[in-house]
Amino acid sequence: MSTPALREEKSAAPEKSNQNPANLSQLLESYGSLSPYIGADHAFYEHHLLYDRVIDPAVASAREQFEAFSRSIRDILAQRWVSTKKTYEQQNAKRVYYLSLEFLIGRSLANNVSNLLLDPAVQQAAEAKGLDWLGLIEQEPDAGLGNGGLGRLAACFLDSMAMMQIPATGYGLRYEYGMFRQTIANGWQQENPDNWLRDGDPWEVARHHEKVEVKLNCSFQLRAGNIETVRDRPSTLIGIPFDRPVVGYGGKTINTLRLWTAAAPDYFDFKEFGTGDFVGALSDTLEAESLTRVLYPDDSTTAGQGLRFLQEYFLVACSLADIIRRFKRYNTDWEKLPEKVAIQLNDTHPSMAVAELLRLLLDDAHLGWDQAWELTKKTLAYTNHTLLPEALEKWPVAWFDVLIPRHLEIIYEINRRLLDEVRVRFPGDNGRVERVSLVEEGERRKIRMANLAIVGSHSTNGVAAVHSRLLRTTTVKDLAEVFPDRFNNKTNGVTPRRWLLQANPALGQEITQAIGKEWVTDLSRLKELRRFAEDGGFREAFLASKRQAKQRFADWLQSTTGQIIDPGTLFDCHVKRIHEYKRQLLNALRIIVVYNRLRSNPELDVVPRTFIFAGKAAPAYRLAKLIIKFLNNLGATIDADPVVKGRLKVLFVPEYNVSLAERLIPASDVSNQISTAGYEASGTSNMKFMMNGALTVGTRDGATIEMAEEAGEENLFLFGLTVEQVVNSRSWYSPYWHYDHDAETREALDLIFSDHFSPDEPGIFAPLRETLLTMGDHYMHLADLKSYCEAHHQVGILYADPEAWAKKAILNVASSGKFSSDRTIAEYASDIWKVEPCPVI
C-alpha cells in the first residue's frame, strides 16, 4: 500500500472543518441526532445517571457527570464500532496486531469527541445542560499504562491506524495501577499508587465470554508469607479481555484496544480442599489477580522480577490465543496465516510470541517444523526502541524451565538450527556463534530476547535513521550480517490530532486559516506554511497564539499548584523521563553558568527565562531521584536570590503525564533535546515541540537529526559531540580536563560541591561529583557544556528579535510534516505489514 492510496481514502473523510455546521449534518447522518444521547432533557446522559448509577441528575457530582457523559459518547460510537468489527469479519481483511506491554493513552473524552468531529456541538450540548465542559474533561484520570516514549508511541500508532482505516487491534495489559503518581516532598520524588480504575472506566467493555486460558507448568503456593512456585504441578490462569474504542479521526473507523486482566479459573479445586491443602487452592486466586496489578515503572533496567516475566508471557499467550481463534473462525488453511495476520512486537517485551506462535503451530495445529517456522517468521515483526545495554532484556533459562518448559525446548531447537546455519555460513567464526546465540552462557544462563525476536521475525526496525544504523552496525552487528534483509528503519511520528489540533487550538486555527484544514490528516501539507514565515500578519498571529498558550499554562499552574510564572519570559523546557543519558544535569549546569554570570555581573543583559522541568525517575534509580532533588533545590536557591529574581526561574512541575505534556508543549518557546549522541533512539517529544512552534536546542541524536534535515540546520540550535565523536573519544575522555581548563565549568561544579544549593543538607549532592568527575562522566556532560551554553546564548539573542524568532518557529512548524505518525504507519503498512485500508461499510 502506498501513501497516495491512503490519501485517497482519507479524502473520503468528512470534508468540512469541525467548526462548520455542514459537517455536523453529515455526522448526524451517520451517528443519528445528538439529542437522544446528550441533547434532550431525558437523553441517554440522564439515563446513565438515573439507571446505571441510580442518582438524581440534578445532584450528580462532577465525576458522575463525567462518567455519564462519556458513556453517552460511547453510545454514539457503539454502532460504528460494531460495524467496524463486522466489516473486518465480512471482508476477512488482513489485520495488524500491535502487541505492547505499554499504551500511554492519557485522557479519552476530548479526544474521542474531537475525532468524531462532534466538536463544538457536544460542548454546546453540555453547556446547554449547565455542565462545565472543561471541568468535565478534568474529571478523567489519565490512563497511564506506560512509562514514556515507547508507550506513547503505541497510543499514537493506534490513532493513526484508525484514521487511515487500517484493520488494527492493540493488545496490552489492563494494569489496575498505572505509572505511579509523582509528588515532590522537600524536593524529593515520592511515588504514590495510581489507582486509575477505582471509580471504574466509562470507555471499556468487559468481554467475559471471550476469556482465554493460559497454562503454566507450575503452581504457586504461599509459604511463610512468600509466594513459591511448585514445579511440575500445572496450573491455569484466565485472561479476561476489556475492549476500548480507538476512534479514527473522521469517525469512520473505530478500532479496538484490547487489554487483558488476569483472573483465577472459576472452578474451585475441591479435591485439594478435601485433602486439607487449603492454601494451595487459595493461592491460585491470590497469584492470578496480582499478575496484572501494576505496570513496571522502570524504563531502563531489567531488574530481575519474575512477575514481569510472567506479565510478558501472559500478554503473549492471551493475545495469540485470541488472534489464532479469530483466524481459524474465517480461515482453514494455515498457509494463509501471514496473509491475514501481521503481528508487531513493541520492543522485546512481547518477544516470547516467537516461541508461543511456533508452539501453537506445532502442538495444536500439528504442522511440521519447517512450515511452522516459516509461518512464524512471516507473521511476526519486531521494533527495537533502545540501545542501552541494561535495557536489553535477558531472562534466566531457569524461569522458562519452571514456568514454560515447552517454550524453552522450542527456543533451544531454534537456536540449534540457527547456530548450525551460522557455522556453515561463517566457518571458523566461533566468536560470532557465541554472540548470535539465543543463549547467554554463564553461571546463570539467560535467553537473549532481542536475538530471539530478530531470528524469529521477518523484520527488525529501529525508530530513527541513526538508531537503525547503530542497531545494525554495532548492537546486533553479527545477527544483522546473518540476516541483512530483515533490518530497516521506521522513523517515529506522533499524532497531529492529539498533539496539535486538540492540544493547541489557537495555533491549529491559525494554521487552518492560512492553509486550510487538510493538514489534520496529511501533515505534509504544513509545508505550505513556509511562505507565511515571510508574512508579518501571520507572524503576529503566530506569536499571539504562543502567548495565549503560555498564559493558559501559567493560569493552570497557578490554579493547581499556586506557583506563579511570567508568560512574558522565555519558556525553556526539558520534559521527559529523568535519566543520566537525557542529561537533565547538563541543563542544570548550564543554568548555573548563567546564574554565576549574573551574580558576578548583575548588570548583564539576559533574556528573562523560566526553566521548566518535568519527568519521573524510576523508583529504584537513585541518581535520577537525586537529580530531581537537585533541580528542586536549584529552583529554591534561585528564587531566594535577589540578584536573579525576575530574570531566572527554575520550576520542577510534578506528575509529568500525557495531560501535562498537552498543556506544556504548546506553551514552550524552547525544547531541550540534549541526550548524549547515540543514546536517544528517536525521541518523540522533540517532534511535538517542533509542530507546536518551539525551537529546538539539541544534540545530533535520534530523530532530532532528521528534524534538522527537514527544517535546515540553521533553524535549530544544534551543538555538542556527534555520535562518532562520542565513540572515538570514549577511551581518552576525561571530565577533569574540562574542569581544569574551563573556568565557568569549574565554578558551576564548585558551587554545587560547596553546598550552595544544599546549605541545610550538606553533602547530599556528593554523588553528582562522583558521576560528573570521579567516575569519569560516562554521559560526557562536561564535554558538551560549553557549546550548549553557546547555543543558548544564540537563543537569547534571537528571542530579543520577535520577528526573526517567529520566522524560525514558523519554518519549524512548516517542516514538521514528516513527523506525523500517519507517515510512519503508512511505511509500516506498506513495507512490513503489507496491509491495506478496509473502509467500514
| Residue of 10, 71, 432, 576 with catalytic role | 576
**Closest approach of Cβ 66 to ligand 26V, in Å?**
30
CA distance 676 to 778: 9
Query: Is 582 designated active site?
Result: yes
Residue from 461, 492, 610, 659 in contact with ligand 26V (CB under 6 A): 492
Please give the residues from 458 up to 487 whose contact with ligand 26V meets the rule CB under 6 A. 463
x-marked contacts with ligand 26V along 813-832 as a string, rule CB under 6 A: --------------------
Burial label for 189, CB within 10 Å (0-12, 13-18, 19+), is buried
Preceding amide of 241 cis, omega within 30: no
CB closer to ligand 26V, 494 vs 789? 494
Query: Is 446 designated active site?
Result: no
Q: Cell numbers of 671, please? A: 525544547
* Structural contact between residues 44 and 72, judged by C-beta atoms closer than 8 angstroms: yes
Residue 702 found at the interface with ligand 26V (CB under 6 A): yes
* Structural contact between residues 147 and 299, judged by C-beta atoms closer than 8 angstroms: yes
Residue from 468, 673, 684, 820 in contact with ligand 26V (CB under 6 A): 684
Preceding amide of 120 cis, omega within 30: yes
Query: Is 688 designated active site?
Result: yes
Query: Is 577 designated active site?
Result: yes
Residue 296 found at the interface with ligand 26V (CB under 6 A): yes
Residue 338 found at the interface with ligand 26V (CB under 6 A): no
**Closest approach of Cβ 100 to ligand 26V, in Å?**
10
Please give the residues from 605 up to 644 whose contact with ligand 26V meets the rule CB under 6 A. none
Residue 149 found at the interface with ligand 26V (CB under 6 A): yes
CB closer to ligand 26V, 196 vs 819? 819
Q: Cell numbers of 357, please? A: 506462535
Q: Cell numbers of 688, please? A: 511535538
* Structural contact between residues 791 and 454, judged by C-beta atoms closer than 8 angstroms: no
Of the candidate spans 251-259, 295-303, 592-600, 830-838, the one that interacts with ligand 26V by CB under 6 A turns out to be 295-303
CB closer to ligand 26V, 158 vs 591? 158
| Residue of 432, 490, 582, 823 with catalytic role | 582
Residue from 150, 163, 631, 825 in contact with ligand 26V (CB under 6 A): 150
Burial label for 795, CB within 10 Å (0-12, 13-18, 19+), is buried
* Structural contact between residues 588 and 631, judged by C-beta atoms closer than 8 angstroms: yes
CB closer to ligand 26V, 308 vs 498? 308
H runs (alpha helix) in 360-448 = 369-379, 397-403, 405-425, 430-436
CB closer to ligand 26V, 153 vs 173? 153
Residue 112 found at the interface with ligand 26V (CB under 6 A): no
Residue 298 found at the interface with ligand 26V (CB under 6 A): yes
CB closer to ligand 26V, 38 vs 257? 257
- Please compute Rg for the chain using Cα positions: 27
Q: Cell numbers of 827, please? A: 511505511
CA distance 305 to 298: 11
CB closer to ligand 26V, 346 vs 545? 346
CB closer to ligand 26V, 463 vs 627? 463
Please give the residues from 381 up to 440 whose contact with ligand 26V meets the rule CB under 6 A. 385-386, 391
**Closest approach of Cβ 494 to ligand 26V, in Å?**
10
| Residue of 379, 676, 684, 699 with catalytic role | 684
* Structural contact between residues 501 and 494, judged by C-beta atoms closer than 8 angstroms: no
Q: Cell numbers of 244, please? A: 476500548
**Closest approach of Cβ 678 to ligand 26V, in Å?**
11
CB closer to ligand 26V, 231 vs 444? 444
Place of cell 555581573: 601
Residue 148 found at the interface with ligand 26V (CB under 6 A): yes
Residue nearest to ligand 26V (CB): 149
Of the candidate spans 6-14, 146-154, 158-166, 175-183, the one that interacts with ligand 26V by CB under 6 A turns out to be 146-154
Residue 678 found at the interface with ligand 26V (CB under 6 A): no
Burial label for 11, CB within 10 Å (0-12, 13-18, 19+), is exposed
Count residues binding ligand 26V (CB under 6 A): 22
Of the candidate spans 219-227, 634-642, 680-688, 811-819, the one that interacts with ligand 26V by CB under 6 A turns out to be 680-688
Residue from 662, 680, 706, 784 in contact with ligand 26V (CB under 6 A): 680
* Structural contact between residues 815 and 710, judged by C-beta atoms closer than 8 angstroms: yes
Query: Is 209 designated active site?
Result: no
Shortest CA distance to 581 belongs to which of 326, 780, 783?
A: 780
CA distance 19 to 512: 11
* Structural contact between residues 503 and 666, judged by C-beta atoms closer than 8 angstroms: yes
Q: Cell numbers of 821, please? A: 505518525
**Closest approach of Cβ 278 to ligand 26V, in Å?**
35
Neighbours of 730 (CB within 10 A): 11
CA distance 174 to 261: 5
Residue 302 found at the interface with ligand 26V (CB under 6 A): yes
Residue 587 found at the interface with ligand 26V (CB under 6 A): no
Query: Is 85 designated active site?
Result: no
Question: Residues with Cβ < 8 Å from 542, sequence gap 6 or more?
Answer: 507, 510, 693, 806, 809, 810
Instruction: Give, in order, the Cα–Cα distances in Å from 364 to each of 321, 354, 367, 687.
Output: 11, 15, 8, 45
Number of residues written out for the chain:
841
| Residue of 80, 258, 340, 385 with catalytic role | 385
Of the candidate spans 55-63, 145-153, 211-219, 394-402, the one that interacts with ligand 26V by CB under 6 A turns out to be 145-153
DSSP 34: S
Residue 701 found at the interface with ligand 26V (CB under 6 A): no
CB closer to ligand 26V, 81 vs 260? 260
Q: Determine how β-strand 394-396 pairs with β-strand 95-99.
A: unpaired
CB closer to ligand 26V, 304 vs 802? 304
Of the candidate spans 42-50, 147-155, 238-246, 604-612, the one that interacts with ligand 26V by CB under 6 A turns out to be 147-155
Shortest CA distance to 694 belongs to which of 709, 672, 718?
A: 672
CA distance 773 to 739: 8
**Closest approach of Cβ 549 to ligand 26V, in Å?**
24
CA distance 667 to 661: 10
Catalytic residues: 385, 576-577, 582, 684, 688
- Please give the residue ranges that form the binding site for ligand 26V (CB under 6 A): 147-150, 153, 296, 298-299, 302, 308, 347, 385-386, 391, 463, 492, 680-684, 702
